């Protein structure tokens, strides 16, 4: 997938470009299905998965380029068939993909912070000679 292409009004590729590269998009869908064992729920899931495969979730240039490129494609609703999107508002589609990535990254960071806090509590409890869950009220207990 070419990194130099942007779907702005001034730099957008011709429609032929997207039809010519539909096989690249289909290969991405097929790889997802092969690795995950199911079809992606939507374009955003495929987008985030591809960024993870490329280890590029934090690479803003790559994130933008991939969102921009994928905004021209879609996945048929009940199959694994990739297709060129007929939605004329490509910039909104790309923006939604970027927003999905941002939410995914924020959720991932929150989970990492939660795990770090839990680990710190367990380390503090171990240092104090208490079982790791000694300071935690039992489930269902009134606060």
In contact, 130 and 139? CB cutoff 8 Å: no
Per-state percent for the chain, helix, strand, coil, to nearest 5? 55, 5, 40
Query: pLDDT of 22-41, one tens digit each?
Result: 999 999 999 999 999 999 98
Token reading at 6: 């942007």
pTM for the full predicted model: 0.67
Nearest-Å Rg of the Cα atoms of the chain is 21
Residue extents of the structural domains in the chain: 15-127
CB 58 within 8 A of CB 67: no
Q: Are the CB atoms for 91 and 7 separated by under 8 Å?
A: yes
Pair 46, 36: CB distance under 8 Å: no
Q: Which two tokens stand for residue 104?
A: 């995914």
Q: Quote the percentage of the chain above a pLDDT of 70.
A: 80
Q: Are 5 and 65 in contact (CB under 8 A)?
A: yes
Q: Per-residue pLDDT for 21 more than 70?
A: yes
CA pseudo-torsion sign 15, 23, 87, 45: negative
Q: Is 8's pLDDT higher than 90?
A: no
């Amino acid at each position: 997938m070419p990194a130099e292409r942007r779907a702005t009004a001034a730099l957008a590729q011709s429609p032929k470009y997207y039809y010519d590269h539909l096989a690249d998009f289909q290969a991405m869908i097929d790889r997802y299905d092969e690795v995950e064992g199911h079809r992606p729920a939507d374009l955003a899931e495929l987008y985030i998965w591809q960024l993870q495969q490329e280890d590029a979730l934090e690479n803003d240039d790559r994130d933008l380029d991939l969102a921009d490129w994928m905004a021209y494609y879609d996945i048929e609703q009940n199959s694994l068939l990739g297709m060129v999107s007929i939605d004329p508002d490509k910039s909104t589609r790309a923006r939604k993909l970027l927003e999905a990535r941002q939410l995914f990254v924020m959720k991932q960071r929150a989970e990492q912070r939660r795990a770090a806090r839990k680990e710190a509590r367990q380390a503090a409890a171990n240092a104090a000679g208490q079982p790791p869950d000694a300071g935690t009220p039992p489930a269902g207990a009134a606060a």
